Structure 1
Amino acid sequence: MRTCELTDVSEFTLVDRDLPTIGPDEVLVRIDRVGICGSDLHYYQHGENGGNIVEFPHVLGHEAAGTVVEVGDGVSRVGPDDRVAIEPGLPCGECEYCVGDGTYHLCEDMEYMSSPPVEGALTEYVAWPAEYLYALPDSVSLREGALAEPLSVAMHACQRGGVSEGDSVLVTGGGPIGQLVSEVAMARGAETVVLTDVVPEKLELAESRGVDHAVDVTESDPVETIREHVDERGVDVVLESSGFGGAIETTTEAVKRGGTVVFVGIPLEPEFPTDIVETIGQEYDLKGSFRFSNTYPAAIEGIETGRFDVDSIVTFESSFEDTQAAFDRAAEPEEVKGVIRVSDEL
């Protein structure tokens, strides 16, 4: 099979590898679509992400969907020719987080596709446990199935923020996660959603997808926009999806007293500038949002019913042979989401 290896910083090499063999509870999946995630770009550009360091060669890609070609003897969940989305995290199944209610994403022994040393989906075939495969309805494309992963990130972030009917919400960052976080917030009943960014194309996309106010922070103060057009006290929930220092500083300025701030985007500089006394006095809830758990069925159903439109965040799709050019393009500010077409299935 063909595999796209990251062989150095900013260098992909297409190589031949043997097909993986499957165990009794595993499935061999022919990979069809792989989304390019921000973490993939960090690994590509810097050789590390969030403290995880690549040992070359390495295979990236964890937003994946494909077609089942073989199943192990113990598998009944899916069968040959089924189209499936792949949940990329494999928890240990035994620790307190794994046996807890909806907390397996916090497993300290989690093996996550494409996060070193676990290799990813930029390859023609992947062996994966059947437990973490989800059959796609006929109306859901393989590209949409691959994007169930970032949609799941957005769903978990909004759950962490407790976004509910009538809330006002600020989303900082108009990348793929910010776009999807906004959509999930609206689907959960948020009355007003404000999204900020510095790239006109991303702001235009957010407006076309239904946000109430798309604010270019190079031209307008988002806090003033909120006070003038939403609520002079601030918003109920802030979902920080960019990882940029300026946006992080805005979070506690924009949220109302007793409101909630959720940090989703991974910053390059981890320091959080905040006034502890103010945080106490204003009684902000400051939360992190890390990956997801138990979201795939609802994500796929939401795509099928039209509740979530993941396809419209895709700004380009590239062939497997053009993976390196695709990653370079995905790093351009105006691009939102790139997808690699590993095979030519629809």
Structure 2
Amino acid sequence: MSQLPATMQAVVMHAPEDYRLEERPVPTPAGDELLIQVEAVGVCASDLKAYAGAAKFWGDENRDRWVEPGIIPGHEITGTVVQGSDEILAHHGVSVGDRIVVEQIVPCGECMYCQRGWYWMCAPHDMFGFKHYHGGMAEYMIVPKLARAHRISKDIAPQHAAYAEPLSCSMHAVERAELEFDDVVVIAGAGPIGLGAIIGAAHKNPKLVIALDFDDEKLELAKKCGADLTLNPSKVDIYEEIRGLTGGYGADVYIECTGHPSAVPQGLNLLRKLGRFVEYSVFKENVSVDWSIISDDKELDVRGAHLGPHTWPAAIKIIEKGDLPLDEICTHQFGLADFQKALDSVADSAGASVKVSILPGR
């Protein structure tokens, strides 16, 4: 193994809207830790919301700040294992030289949720790049024993490998929907999460997968990911179109992947009675709806979805098989020095980016 450098470049969070590129020591792994050389880290909308201020992100000004000053952000991570004891390599089922992706959360293993197998809802809820554990916006990072690592092929581009994180999240949202073969499924939003939900839903073979977005180019991409029908709400009456396709009843399933408050009542109104609503997004502001639609009018099942538990192997398989147009999804890559451009690209809702990534080696 070649000698590692003494220092590395890393993006460090100091305060909301105060992220800085700094020189940091390359971390030395303890006996129960892996050291990876980061190849790519995706930039998520939650990274952007955390950049704006974590308390605002979580909607509670009295809650402890979720992003700690001094933390290196980034939770959509892929990299090559460069150091680790025999014991920790065996624990994670990897070898030095393997490329891995790591799940976002580092579960404690001790709380009620972890003990019952619900590790993705871990009570302390420590995640890479937010609290306690440094993330992937650096040349090297530590992967602790409690983390969950998965091998992924080196034959694919690093930014494609890092897409395993949002894809696993999308597929969990699809699992929460419990799709059936006769379902008409509406997916709102054709961004990174929505596109993943589209291919996840398409793999379940329901009757119809319908994608909604205001961007026609993203709708074309949705077709390549498996959407049977795409609708632009600014150009057609989506309520009339979907009622026409369902005998006047409405969709069976609606999966919300936009993060825009208007998409919530839209979904409630598009669903048939006894339909299923799955919410994946994190909202910047509170959302108000007429709850009588959920209860008295339609008796809907409303389900949340968080992270990507148990879906990583399937997400990795989809990526490795080439089932997704990843060159068109992973549109923008930046070096660490251009991290601000990466954040700004995610913030630019009118821009051309779909999935933005940082490649520390660039």
Q: Provide the TM-score with structure 2 as the length reference.
A: 0.88
8 Å Cα contact 1:240-1:251 kept in structure 2: yes
Name 2:139's counterpart in structure 1.
124
Gapped regions of structure 1 (runs ≥ 5): none
Range that drifts further, 244-253 or 141-150: 141-150
Query: How many equivalent residue pairs?
Result: 343
8 Å Cα contact 2:276-2:301 kept in structure 1: yes
8 Å Cα contact 1:143-1:311 kept in structure 2: no
Is the alpha carbon distance of 1:310 and 1:150 closer, same or farther for their aligned partners in structure 2, counting shifts above 3 Å? Answer: farther
Q: Give, in whole Å, the separation in 2 of the partners of 1:297 and 1:221.
A: 38
Is the alpha carbon distance of 1:202 and 1:277 closer, same or farther for their aligned partners in structure 2, counting shifts above 3 Å? Answer: closer
Name 2:357's counterpart in structure 1.
339
Name 1:43's counterpart in structure 2.
50
8 Å Cα contact 1:150-1:180 kept in structure 2: yes
Matched, 1:81 2:97: yes
Between Structure 1 and Structure 2, the one with more strand by share is: 1
Q: Give, in whole Å, the separation in 1 of the partners of 2:359 and 2:249.
A: 46
Range that drifts further, 200-209 or 182-191: 200-209
Matched, 1:29 2:47: no
Letter in 2 for 1:21: T
Name 1:251's counterpart in structure 2.
267
Range that drifts further, 317-326 or 297-306: 297-306
8 Å Cα contact 1:83-1:142 kept in structure 2: no
Q: Give, in whole Å, the separation in 2 of the partners of 1:126 and 1:281.
A: 51
8 Å Cα contact 1:200-1:216 kept in structure 2: yes
SS in 2 for 1:171: strand
Q: CA deviation at 1:60?
A: 1.5
Q: CA RMSD in A?
A: 2.1
1:224 maps to which of 235, 240, 256: 240
Range that drifts further, 293-302 or 283-292: 293-302
8 Å Cα contact 2:49-2:284 kept in structure 1: no
Name 2:128's counterpart in structure 1.
113
Q: CA deviation at 1:62?
A: 0.4
1:68 maps to which of 75, 81, 90: 81
Q: CA deviation at 1:233?
A: 0.8
1:276 maps to which of 287, 292, 311: 292
Q: Give, in whole Å, the separation in 2 of the partners of 1:166 and 1:330.
A: 36
Percent identity, aligned pairs only, is 31
SS in 2 for 1:97: helix
Q: Give, in whole Å, the separation in 2 of the partners of 1:54 and 1:95.
A: 21
Q: Give, in whole Å, the separation in 1 of the partners of 2:29 and 2:170.
A: 32
Range that drifts further, 301-310 or 154-163: 301-310
Letter in 1 for 2:85: G
